[in-house]
A and B are shown apart, each in its own frame.
Chain A
Amino acid sequence: NAGVTQTPKFQVLKTGQSMTLQCAQDMNHEYMSWYRQDPGMGLRLIHYSVGAGITDQGEVPNGYNVSRSTTEDFPLRLLSAAPSQTSVYFCASSYASVGTGELFFGEGSRLTVL
């Protein structure tokens, strides 16, 4: 049971570098999303998608881009990394865009920007 798979698990970047965090799910979920988790702040929604070809901004979208060309994949791009983007990133998916509340999470990607 793969579920939601995120890569890489750990990454260190220098300020100004770009990178892509990969997320794939094999549950045929319509809804996919990216959160960042920072100490004392819980999870904050970055971007989300309710289906292939459709994306929208969450609470903290600045500095991040997303696309959804297939149902399975939802990559998160950092175009020019900043130290403020040091965080743990989680991809999550759900059966439908109308929430039952059950999100399925990946194991997380820890990013450090120097």
Chain B
Amino acid sequence: GNSVTQMEGPVTLSEEAFLTINCTYTATGYPSLFWYVQYPGEGLQLLLKATKADDKGSNKGFEATYRKETTSFHLEKGSVQVSDSAVYFCALSDQGSSASKIIFGSGTRLSIRP
């Protein structure tokens, strides 16, 4: 079945450091890929997405590229801020499938030191 694997957290970085959070997936067909973010005390919200191979999703300085050859969708940011401290979830969805088929990874907690 479909699945998503994320790097274990927590990840702790200093402000302005470069961020990478690894995500790999297993899926049949051609899934859409997503990163969701959960700020403290809040629900998840969509950060970015990519719907086909080689697409790059971007938002708020974060980027992720859909790599079909390595089945990966790593999240990157060039210079993190304290306000980026949150839990990040990688997710996938079979294109055209029910919203009930969205599969989430286990989440990676990110903490940024001033």
Residues of A whose CB lies within 8 Å of any CB of B are: 4, 31, 33, 40-43, 45, 48, 50, 56, 58, 90, 92, 94, 96-108
**In the bound complex, CA of A47 to CA of B42 (Å):** 21
Task: Tell me whether B43 and A90 are in contact (CB under 8 A).
Answer: yes
Residues of B within 8 A of A90 (CB): 43-44
Distance (Å) between the CB of A40 and the closest chain B CB? 6
Shortest Cβ distance from residue B57 to the other chain A in the assembled complex, whole angstroms: 11
- CB contacts (< 8 Å) of A100 on chain B: these are 32
Interface residues in chain B, defined as those with a beta carbon under 8 Å from any beta carbon in chain A:
32, 34, 36, 41-46, 49, 89, 91, 93, 96-102, 104-107
| A43 touching B93 in the complex, CB below 8 Å, given contacts A97-B98, A99-B99, A101-B46 | no
Of chain A, the residue at the smallest CB distance from B89 is A42
Contact, CB under 8 Å: A99 / B102:
yes
- The answer on a CB contact under 8 Å between A101 and B100 is no
Minimum Cβ distance to chain B for residue A24 (Å):
14
Partner of A43, one of B89, B96, B99, B101: B89
> Do the beta carbons of B93 and A99 come within 8 Å of each other?
yes
